[in-house]
């Protein structure tokens, strides 16, 4: 991975200080296509016959667990209802219950596999709330460590992940595949 620096250090002009820039050109495809995507990525992925390619680690009765293709940390997953709704209040009681039960199970799995200092669990409902996929609610569940928001993440807007998605899928899927 190559990071391009535009300045060797911060530049000060008068009392204004300009920050360094780290260029990540490989993210262009994601950023430039985010708004152009046709249909719902969750509804599309759940229809695929290959769960590993779709990044789906588990299929429940009312919802499924899928890896985040652009994770904040290794182990970042989402619990997604099959029901395509944009608000939590529109979910059936059974779906909401299953989503919470799967979130609880994921907490156990992520603690076992990644030994994090904490777990983030949450939803961004609506574009103004930060939802990247605003039309189909989903619960983010991800392991966190003290000081995991380092220089690269905070200043460079670049995540450093020690594990690739294929390995993450294998590890989490194995925990749900136990008979």
Catalytic annotation, residues: 138
**Rounded CA separation 81/100 (Å):** 11
Of 107, 129, 127, give the one whose Cα is nearest residue 119: 107
Beta strand 16-18 pairing with 22-23? unpaired
**Rounded CA separation 68/26 (Å):** 17
For residues 172 and 109, the answer to whether their CB atoms sit within 8 Å is yes
Can you tell me whether residue 127 is helix, strand or coil? helix
**Rounded CA separation 88/85 (Å):** 8
State both tokens at 134.
């605003």
For residues 148 and 76, the answer to whether their CB atoms sit within 8 Å is no
């Amino acid at each position: 991975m190559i990071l391009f620096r535009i300045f060797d250090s911060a530049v000060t002009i008068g009392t204004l200080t300009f920050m360094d820039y780290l260029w990540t050109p490989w993210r262009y495809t994601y950023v430039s296509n985010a708004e152009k995507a046709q249909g719902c990525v969750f509804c599309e992925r759940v229809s695929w016959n290959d769960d590993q390619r779709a990044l789906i680690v588990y299929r429940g009765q009312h919802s499924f667990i899928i890896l985040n293709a652009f994770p904040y940390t290794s182990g970042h997953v989402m619990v997604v209802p099959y029901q395509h709704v944009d608000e939590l209040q529109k979910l059936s009681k059974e779906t909401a219950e299953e989503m919470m039960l799967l979130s609880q199970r994921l907490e156990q799995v992520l603690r076992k596999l990644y030994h994090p200092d904490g777990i983030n669990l949450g939803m961004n409902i609506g574009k103004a709330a930060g939802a990247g996929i605003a039309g189909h609610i989903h619960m983010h569940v991800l392991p966190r460590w003290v000081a995991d928001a380092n220089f690269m993440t905070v200043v460079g807007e670049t995540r450093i992940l020690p594990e690739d998605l294929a390995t993450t899928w294998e590890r989490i899927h194995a925990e749900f595949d136990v008979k």
